[in-house]
Structure 1
Amino acid sequence: MFADFDPLDLKPGQMVSHWRIVRRIGRGGYAVVYEVEKDGERFALKLACQTERSLDPKQTDARAQREAACLQLLKHRHIIRMRGQGRWPDTLSGFHYIVLDFVDGYTLARWVERTHPTPHEVVVLFLKLFDALEHMHGKNVFHRDLSLRNIMVTKDGEPVIIDFGAADYATAEDLTDGPLPPGTPRIRSPEAQAFWDENRLKPGARYTFKATDDIFALGADLYDVLTNPTPTRGESRPLLGNMLMTPPTPHRANGRVPVELSAYAMKLISRDLEVRPATAKDARRPLVDLARFEGDDWRESGIHPASAQLPPEPGEGEPVPVEAREAEGPQEPIPSHPLPVQVAPADAAPVPSPVQVVPADAAPVPSAAGAGAQHSARRAWLRPVFVGPLALSVFAAVVAASLLHRPAQPEPPPVARSAPAEQPRASSPLAEKPTSRPERLASPLPTQKEASLSVKLPDNSPTLTNSVPDPQQAQRGNARRALIKKCAALVASVAWLEAGCTGVQTRPDPEPCPEEAVKAMRQELGWALNTNDAPFILLDVTKGSAEEAREQPDAVWKDGPVTGALIRPQGKAPAGMRIDGHLWTTGDRIYGRYVRAHLPGGRTVPICLELENANDLGSEKREGSKPGAPVASKVSETRAVERWR
């Protein structure tokens, strides 16, 4: 019965129990949501099943049951209402589903762009949200992910808190495998972020979520509503709880924000718990007074100028900035004030406009004309910034290719000189990452920069000495060919990693897994081999954490060695255990083999762990992949094997 349908793609007209599918609304980490109909009324049906964004698929059903338990405790007009639940297609073992009220409206982010709210309308909306939060906390329920996308606003202007998939209540069993619960990094409180920084590599550490964390999250939403005119465009913004400096006040970033509302928003996101409201009731009370304020600046003018919310148009003959096209481009800073833009034609694609951070003591932009001039100057200044590194990258690639395809120059006659001092080995890029990235590993792995495609030179390659053979050159060429043969023999083994072999272009051949690896996986790690019960992993720890993968699930990959990590415990292996391996990205899929595990205490053991997705070998390439720059998920299923496939 289960093989007759795809729960991720139910078609209009199909029935789930008594509800008829109308359309699919969307999918998240643990469920897919459909609009359904029964007796002429519309509802939302959330079907719990593993999706491509699931970070811990074994907890999918448990999280669905917890969401239903939380919703059963809550009855508030600004909290989504559950109308029923069950299992389907089998009432005992089928997928768990919950039926919810259908909210006809926008996400809070879209509401900002579509309705151009005034400061008064923003205050009234957040007054209702904090009233709902007070009810929620009164029932000992924490939402834990109050992001802009998890707050809907009806077309009548009424807010509704949705998606309790990450929620928790006082007596619930702990489902989190990592230090922090699932959530949106942008709205994470400073105390939660500090706990993450200190405990991200400690599998047993668990953060105790508090009311002040939900209050900070709503405060972060208010800050973004007041300072970001286009929150749906997906510009990367720094974590409010992890900034080295206090962010500019909303009034300084956007002169249309009244000073009183700006000061209130800064209290909600204060790092000082003595300043931040301790309860939702305390946070709600100032909004009652702010809602009484009169004047055009409160009740007539939109919080953002309409021009700042229109799709920008590139200048004539000006190329689209790289960061607007590439998913892996540089992050844009916080928009500190709305930028005037031109109205694009109806068929023009929206292109994000570069922005800059205004210093804390800078005055708001006085006029649209002045800001437009600054914007043009900024684009002229940014052009060499993007073009320069691009030109250097192309030049470096040409030089590298010429060195690979060209035999080395003959050395000059030897002269008497002292022996050169041994040069220290270049440090790994892992050691140069910011502190938010994992620390450098002690294992002697080649770095991403050291990995390159293997190129075999023809035996008759000409030299720069009028084709006269050079003995030293021939000796070096033979040594290089010997290394290539050695690496081919050691491919996907611990010895291959330690030999410093570079990447290869093709997927490695099937071969048996070493006996010591099979023994280590069974006895020391407690893994079942050749089954679906295998670790769920983060492919490369340098691409960010599992929490960040939830917000930005994809990355651009290239051939070379990687160090991944277990997202959840598996057998005797703890969550966060590092694993060393290699990726091959030039085929139809991305293939990966992990050959070494770092046990607690520093000891390493060999393993044979390969990437797979829904029983298919390798990870699927996603939309946006280009030759040499494939796009794929940062997380993946794996299979522990006795023989490489």
Structure 2
Amino acid sequence: MVGPWKIVESLGTGNFGHAFKVEREGIFFTMKMAVRPAPELPKDTPEEALEERQVDGRMCHEGAILLANTSHPGLPHLREVGRWPHPVWGYLYIITDYVLGEPFQDWREHAQPTVAQFVDVFIEVVRVVEGLHAKGISIRDFKSEHVIVPEDHKPVVVDLGSAWLPGGSILTVGLAPGTPHMLPPECVAFIREGSWKQGARFDPGKAGDLYQLGIFLYEALTECWPFDPRLTKDELLVAIENVVPRPPHRINPEVPESLSRIAMKLLEKQPEDRYESAESLLKALWDANKERATTAWKVSLRLPPQGPAPVTQDEVEERRLLQQESERRAQEAQKEKEEELSREQALEEFSATIQELGAKAQAAEALEAEARAAAEKAARRKKRWRRIVLGAGSLLLLLTFWVAWQVWRTPVLPSPAASEKGSSLVSTISNSRPVRATAAWLCVTFSVGCTAAQVRPLPEDCPAEAVRSMEEMNLLNQGAYSVVIDINQPGKQQQEGIYWPGPIVSRVVKYSWTGPLPEGTLLYGQLWTEGLTKEGQEAVLGRYTEALLPDGRRVPVCFVLGDLTGLTIKNPGSKPREARLPREWSVLAVRRWP
């Protein structure tokens, strides 16, 4: 018993859950239960990490999709979602109506349907997919095992755990969970490019669902898969991305060519070469269905006892032409992609040029304003000096008259001592206290002296408020973060920037290996660029004291540029007061300023 639900029999086990037939008050239902209970995670665990670490994340998705599509034909009706035995930490389970029928391949084996009967079932499956697509839902892991065919031949699609629901949380980084030999070619290209290692995600969307519908159709028509799942991983991925499979009517001569062409169009390598939508696919099936009165549509799709038909010379030539056409379209798609990338790069360079011109214009305006301020300051200083000179001249004139008066009224007496020892006038003047006071007054008044060099701040503990805010946000002990050092300098990641001493505003760039600070967070700080060395080379010191989060919150922080020393070695070509550094660099959260 699971609560009021009595387990009758097991219906199967997958990587994420078990399926049971259960009974309650004489009525049968289907129960799906996660393979492990919910883990005890901190309340502040990010949603992405929460979903990735919970095996019942897929079941949560399936329950949400079924609940949002309760009246949708071709989907099981959701009856209950719960946890057992504990309402919070127990195993997640969902209850749906029990579908009395067989998985598609078992039904095909037992019923031996004619071409017309199979197409009727396939059309109903496509209608289910079309209805989900109309609501923005992508299945992403569609296969024949997920199609149950009841006695009335109205198929039901089950297991939507990998589906994407608009507004739903993200299950995994990279690709959605799926079956390797059923991956669309665009997914294989995404794997080969390797951008998933930096946290990029790829969703094949509706085009991916149409490709997997093509695999379902191909398998039903031939009892084979387009690409053998027994191949090694590398061989399988190369085949999916490059090899055109044998057309179904070549493998099974009983297959009408119209259906074979539909299957091959669904399996096109480029998403844009497939049907535009599930609605377009339904139209193609409807057109082909006009042949159902012919003898070819009244025979079983079962393969002959001798197995797939041998390859003929005509087929070799046909496949060669198909392969050439596929490669041509792939080359055109790659060329278009490169041209689009070139256009984007040109646009970025143009934008960077505009920003650079704007920055230069701003710098010119700043220099002009600085020149005006300097001119005004010089004019004020000149005016002040003029007053000082006039005042000093007046005093000197008065002093001259006073000295003359004193000389005139004082009798001249001989001074042998003075003649023997020499005059002490110069010594007396140069050491007098009034002269020293006057010199000090001149230094203070007219800024006489040398300009002080830039001084590195001393190591000290970070403010308690900053440490407390970083602990609350779990920013400490999370390794390095990545930032664009100066948000006002345009350019690409690989380019250099030129930095001057003074205030700096940096922007956080989010990668899979960085800490919890969100993308776009601004860090406000200060750069010191002169008189600093690291490992015998000139260096820059950077400190950040405040963070502006994307949601508008400002919090005090303690971050340093580079490593725990807070120092970053300048790039070659740096000049005095012009430090060259990478445009993008790392920062660390610290408890004590180095």
Compute the TM-score of the two structures, normalised by the length of structure 1.
0.44
Larger helix proportion, structure 1 or 2?
2
Query: Higher relative contact order by CA 8 Å / sep ≥ 6: 1 or 2?
Result: 1
Higher-Rg structure is: 2
